[in-house]
Amino acid sequence: MRVRAGALVSVLGIALVGCGVQPTGVIGAGEPASGLTRGIRLYYASDSGLRGVPVLDREIKNLASVVKLLASGPPPAEQRDGLTNLVELGGYTVTGRGTQVTVHLESPYVGTGRDQGTGQLVCTLARAQSVLDPKVGTDDVEVTLLRPGGPDLGPYRCAEFLDG
């Protein structure tokens, strides 16, 4: 029985080694994949922390439009998954230059600076700035909130609000 098993293993081994597939060299495939990893994401709050939701159907031209889109809340499918919007802003202007984003608030801000609502705003604006200015990395963007009557909040980086 052992002889038959050994012979069977030998035959299968020879068949696999000699199956006719020839080795090849490295094949160039062009640029690495891109798309969702570089696009706009809106960050929403959940019980487990912030989660980014890709924006697939809108062209974003400036930071103010991103904040407006964020303030409208998560789409229904994401709401069913437990995502919610905690950003509450009155009037504001938002500017971005290089790695610096500033939100000038016109009314009192309810966030403490270390809450998920502030994290939503910071991470969304950091991601948007890196897409609008491709020379800037999301992790390098600092967001500052200027409150009327002060004190200012920030500067913050998105990583401060993400788990892990």
Peptide bond connecting 155 to the previous residue in cis, omega within 30 degrees of 0: yes
Q: Widest CA span of the chain, in angstroms?
A: 90
Query: Band of the pLDDT at 123, cuts 50, 70, 90?
Result: very high
Average pLDDT over residues 25-47: 64
Average pLDDT over residues 139-145: 97
- pLDDT-wise least confident of 23-32, 64-73, 125-134: 23-32
Helices (H), 18-147: 63-71, 76-80, 116-132
* 54-106 confidence digits (pLDDT tens): 988 788 889 999 999 999 999 999 999 999 999 988 899 999 999 999 999 99
Percent over 70 (pLDDT), the chain: 76
pLDDT score, position 56: 83
* 15-24 confidence digits (pLDDT tens): 545 555 555 5
Average pLDDT over residues 125-144: 95
Compute the half-sphere exposure of residue 46: CA atoms within 13 Å on the CB side of its CA.
18
SS3 146: strand
**Mean per-residue pLDDT over the chain, rounded:** 83
pLDDT score, position 27: 52
